[in-house]
Amino acid sequence: MKPEDLYGEIVAFCKSNTDEAIIKKYSKYFKGGQYDAYGLPQHLLQNKITDILNRSGIDFQIIRETSRLLVRGTKFEEVSIAFMFYKSFIKTFDKSTFSDLTIWFESGIHNWAHTDSISGDLLFYLLNKKIISYSDFRPWIKGQNKFQRRAVPVSLIKTLKYTKEFQSYFKLIEPLMTDPEREVHQGVGWFLRVAWKLQPEQTEIFLLKWKDISPRLIYQYACEKMSQEQKNRFKRTK
């Protein structure tokens, strides 16, 4: 089967199984048109993926090419299916998978939910298995897609438990401390909140350095678990 034919089959399936109630239920969690969905029930989506993966002749190469078409689509489920396809082949990942995900962000990831799923599962796997390192994210810091920039700190969150690279991580995300986008602020703040829990002294030095410069939303997230007295240390002085 050609990737184009498989993509067409998936789109036709989604269009024939829409549910307006699902669209209404989940749209409230997204802002600014980030949720454009067919409204496909989760069990039908999963069943379709299982059916495709169980077919003779379906290998990772076909999935890669089909997924590249899916992430260019406008509908939420298309990227979700690409993500779930890749997750099914996670044990075959290599450095080229990182290139695939780079293309995804450059061409079609447009909401926080997909960003965080890709970061927490696929990108974390690449990091955890040492297929890539944190330094491979340097070009992403300047990515035009704000969700690609958000993916950098979010991908590193789970690795904080297993690394001593806190200072290297802080240096990597420094350009994001003045990023203009809200979704990036949330991702950076989330990362710093977890970093503070694990290494409070190192993280507080970093937070103090940027407290008069960075957007306050970063600090709202980063300081969420602190006492009021601790939070007061990171208020702006001007």
Q: What is the pLDDT of residue 237?
A: 85
Task: List, for residues 59-117, the tens digit of each pLDDT value.
Answer: 999 999 999 999 999 899 999 999 999 999 999 999 999 999 999 999 989 999 999 99
Which is it for the CA torsion 105, 210, 166, 233, positive or negative? negative
Helix axes 76-88, 42-53, angle to 10 degrees: 40
Tell me which amino acid residue 4 is.
Answer: E
Please compute, for residue 123, the number of CA atoms within 13 A of its CA located in the half-sphere on the CB side. Answer: 30
Residue 109 contacts residue 71 (beta carbons within 8 Å): yes
Closest listed residue to residue 177, CA positions, set 213, 151, 139, 149: 213
- Residue 22 identity (one-letter amino acid): I
Q: Does residue 33 have a pLDDT over 90?
A: no
What's the pLDDT score for residue 1? Answer: 81
**What are the residue ranges spanned by the domains of the chain?**
1-91
Binning pLDDT at 50, 70 and 90, where does residue 32 land?
confident
Residue 180 sits at φ, ψ, to 5 deg, of -85, -10
What is d(CA 220, CA 86) in angstroms, rounded to the nearest whole number?
Answer: 34
- pLDDT the model gives residue 234: 95
Q: Which two tokens stand for residue 174?
A: 């420094």
Which residue, among 48, 40, 38, 39, has the nearest Cα to 88 in the 3D structure? Answer: 48
Tens-place pLDDT, residues 149-171:
999 999 999 999 999 899 999 99
